[in-house]
Structure 1
Amino acid sequence: MPKAGALSVTARPNAGALAAGAVLACLPGLAGSLIRAKVTDAGPAMRLEPIRGQERAGNEEYLDFDRNGLAAHPGRLSMRAASGGGLVVLGPPAVGVLARRAVERGDVAQLLRDGTGRLSGHLGETPEDFGFAAEDVTIRGLPAWAVPSSSASSGVWVIHVHGLGSSRSQCLRGVEAFAALGYTSLLPTYRTSLDLSPTPGRSHLGLTEWKDIEAARRYALDHGARRILFVGWSLGASIVLRTIERCPAPSTAGALLVSPALDWPAIISAQLRRAGCPGFLARWLPHTVNLIRPRGEPILRWREMPATYMGKHPSIPTMIFHGTEDRSVPVQLSRAFVSRQSQPVGFVEFDGAHHTLEWNSAPQLWNGSVQAWCRRLGLEAYVDPTYPVSEAK
């Protein structure tokens, strides 16, 4: 009871203050939801590069691009028109006022009509584009390519796992080095591969996808594999490490991780900082991704992800390839990962290479490093001196 003469005030909520409080309370959840949606988007990349001109000189055809864009990246690349169509393979750039690339294969008509296209490191869409005879196989209802060994006696199989928002054709560049050693290559799909749908469901960042790669491992063993190497590109590296962790096997000989997406909080933080987010927020926001979670989607427990926080180390021989200009997964994360391992991890940096474009920037370095690593592992190798060096054609 209030004292005589005291002002009695009944507390009445202010609608504006309540609304502001509600927004502030929801911000972490909304931010986490947006981050989760971005990180788990398994659709194709949408970045388009404008075409600045076309020229013919004799039998050669050239396309011109901005000199400061992705088109100036070292090595061969490919381009697909914004509206779709076939893949156009482009030669290495000559950089002057513009970045000029020769058209090696494909019809540029649709590219020129659109005026823009998506650049990538894919130099072919099927094994045949690289000169490989391949068999179409099905593993647990999902399509895969099996590129047989040039040596009937070789028992080494290589399982190539593509990254987020991509397809198994991403890995075709990496087959050459192993094929020259007489190894069989298996290129499986998993549940969010673009091979299956142009609009796949949300990625689980390996939490469920690893089961499809474990099925590929069992397929290889059932078809003659005695030793197995894994090659994981970007998210594929995380999927590979999860597969090895969940199903350790004496047949697993090693893992090659290409532009590996391993420490997801650090990857997200780096992207947020690049977008101008303050450092403390960039470090905190990745931990909000489970506050608002779509029905049926798993909890993303970062500390349980392979290699996150450097807490789970590879138990098998490991090699990492990473480009110094990777803007999706900073190369510093691989350097830190390697430095913290109790067992040596092979590490090759590709100067000037962007995300998953290491092979494109220096194919001889890639192939030579792979083959030297395989020999250090003591794997059986049958080198056919007549084996052709594959080229996307």
Structure 2
Amino acid sequence: MVDSRRAAMRGASPALLAGVRAALTVVSLALAGVLSAMAVASAHMARRIVTPALRRPDTRILSLDTAAQTITLARTPDTGLPGRYGLFTSGTTDYLKLGSVLSEDEESVTRKLLTHVGPDAGLAPDAAFSGWYYDRPEQLHLPYTPELIGSTVGPCPAWLFPAGEGEVWVIQVHGRGATRAECLRAVPLFHSLGITSLVVSYRNDGEAPRSRTGTYSLGATEWRDVDAAVGFARRRGARRIILMGWSMGGAIALQVSLNSAHRSAVAGLILESPVVDWRVVLRFQARVMNVPPTVSGMAIEALKHEWATPITRAGHAIPFDRLDVVARAGELRHPILILHSDDDGFVPSDASHDLVVARPDLVQLDVFSVARHTKLWNYDQERWTARITSWLAQQGLAEASIPADA
């Protein structure tokens, strides 16, 4: 059989052989082009993952009625949510507080303004909808002091809100692309329960010092800055410390609970819309952005290896296995309360559910719906407050009463 094929090839015309070679060359070049394009796309995705994000507009201001103190926004999955929110703007003001939805249709949503806007206001159309609500500590009308937490990258700014006898503290950790102001909405609840709040920053978040590369490690190094805050709290008299993390802040808080030399002082964790396994999050976001699974897989794989850091521009390899807390669930020692919306839209709740299954003895999950990412307080403040208060009471960290104004 082989001899007959060889004979046939020897008998083939030069023109036919040339055509076959040309076809093979075209196929090889096309394949190389596809692989090259995939490599470029995966490198771009990898860089986006570790590069601190700037706040990007996600809606548009369609109209502003200063007489009625209302604002009309382009409709998105977030802008039509019930509750109180914030809006980052540009022009004569940079931030507005938003109240309830007054009217809506398929294209737009009109909301009540809770920040007074004068008749001479001029706002650019592009805006960013936010769950922060408070954007400065003085808006809480609570006593606080600015602090600096010494870490290996330098002094990290923090806000300290003293409360109670000062023995129980909560250290709040913000998420990716945010700053510590994201955490302010939780401070009144803890204050009313006699729990001191320390709201911290960490490397490369725009407030704390920059690392050598200026890139995120997705919690693999940032936890050390929060661990320094735990040490700070202990030196100031804290005996029991709660870690509260929002989004990527949840991943950081989990790493503190797993790795800190101060683990004995940690009384528990409260996680709001947390990242529990980065690979689950990144694959989800790739699907949302219509990035092929092969490309997202290549990006994650590149980030795992030191040799690829010149391409990914990460400071060092990202230890995804170490950041997968579902896989490390057996190492957990602290009680954990997770608050997560099943239609989060950014960080899927799958890994949060998996963590409950892995450690039902330690982990409690309160599942929201509709609330979206890190907007659970905004969407249903009463339920959010009651759930955290009851969990704190279960852990012996607060009285089982719900503050009226928290």
SS in 1 for 2:100: coil
Residue 141 of structure 2 corresponds to which residue in structure 1? 131
Within a 5 Å distance, the mapping from 1:76-225 to structure 2 comes to 76-82=84-90, 85-97=93-105, 98-107=108-117, 112-140=122-150, 141-149=155-163, 151=164, 153-196=165-208, 201-225=214-238
Give the CA deviation at 1:314: 2.8
Moved more, 307-316 or 188-197: 307-316
SS in 1 for 2:264: coil
Matched residue type, 2:280? A
Partners of 2:316 and 2:92 in 1: how far apart? 33
Residue 269 of structure 1 corresponds to which residue in structure 2? 283
Contact 1:154 1:381 in 2 (8 A): no
Residue 40 of structure 1 corresponds to which residue in structure 2? 50
Partners of 2:33 and 2:169 in 1: how far apart? 54
SS in 2 for 1:113: coil
Contact 2:202 2:222 in 1 (8 A): yes
Give the CA deviation at 1:379: 2.0
Moved more, 363-372 or 84-93: 84-93
Matched residue type, 1:31? A
Gaps of 5+ in 1: none
Partners of 1:84 and 1:34 in 2: how far apart? 35
Per the alignment, do residues 339 and 82 of structure 1 end up closer, same or farther by CA in structure 2, a change over 3 Å counting? farther
Question: RCO higher in 1 or 2 (8 Å CA, sep ≥ 6)?
Answer: 1
Residue 4 of structure 2 corresponds to which residue in structure 1? none
Matched residue type, 2:251? S
Partners of 1:69 and 1:306 in 2: how far apart? 29
Per the alignment, do residues 296 and 45 of structure 1 end up closer, same or farther by CA in structure 2, a change over 3 Å counting? closer
Contact 1:310 1:340 in 2 (8 A): no
Within a 5 Å distance, the mapping from 1:1-393 to structure 2 comes to 19-27=29-37, 29-56=39-66, 60-82=68-90, 85-97=93-105, 98-107=108-117, 112-140=122-150, 141-149=155-163, 151=164, 153-196=165-208, 201-248=214-261, 249-277=263-291, 286-290=300-304, 292-294=308-310, 297-307=315-325, 309=327, 314-379=332-397, 381=399, 389=405
Matched residue type, 1:268? L
Contact 2:200 2:226 in 1 (8 A): yes
* Per-residue deviation, residues 48-97 of structure 1 (Å, max 9, x unmatched): 3112222355xx40011234442111211111214694311010212433
**TM-score where L is the length of structure 1:** 0.85
Larger Rg: 2
Partners of 2:351 and 2:82 in 1: how far apart? 23
Moved more, 176-185 or 268-277: 268-277
Matched residue type, 1:73? L
Partners of 1:353 and 1:323 in 2: how far apart? 6
Give the CA deviation at 1:240: 0.7
Matched residue type, 1:286? I
Give the CA deviation at 1:273: 2.0
Contact 2:38 2:295 in 1 (8 A): no
Partners of 1:31 and 1:109 in 2: how far apart? 47
Contact 2:242 2:266 in 1 (8 A): yes
Contact 2:63 2:72 in 1 (8 A): yes
Give the CA deviation at 1:279: 5.7
SS in 2 for 1:170: helix
SS in 1 for 2:79: helix
SS in 1 for 2:243: strand
Contact 1:228 1:254 in 2 (8 A): yes
Partners of 1:177 and 1:69 in 2: how far apart? 28
* Per-residue deviation, residues 121-150 of structure 1 (Å, max 9, x unmatched): 11222221112211011111111100001x
Matched residue type, 1:182? G
Matched residue type, 2:48? K
SS in 1 for 2:65: strand
Partners of 1:173 and 1:121 in 2: how far apart? 9
Matched residue type, 1:365? R
Partners of 1:29 and 1:290 in 2: how far apart? 15
Gaps of 5+ in 2: 1-6
Normalized per residue, the structure richer in helix is 2
Give the CA deviation at 1:220: 0.1
SS in 2 for 1:92: strand
Provide the aligned C-alpha RMSD in A. Answer: 3.4
**TM-score where L is the length of structure 2:** 0.83
Moved more, 354-363 or 90-99: 90-99
Give the CA deviation at 1:19: 4.7
Give the CA deviation at 1:24: 4.4
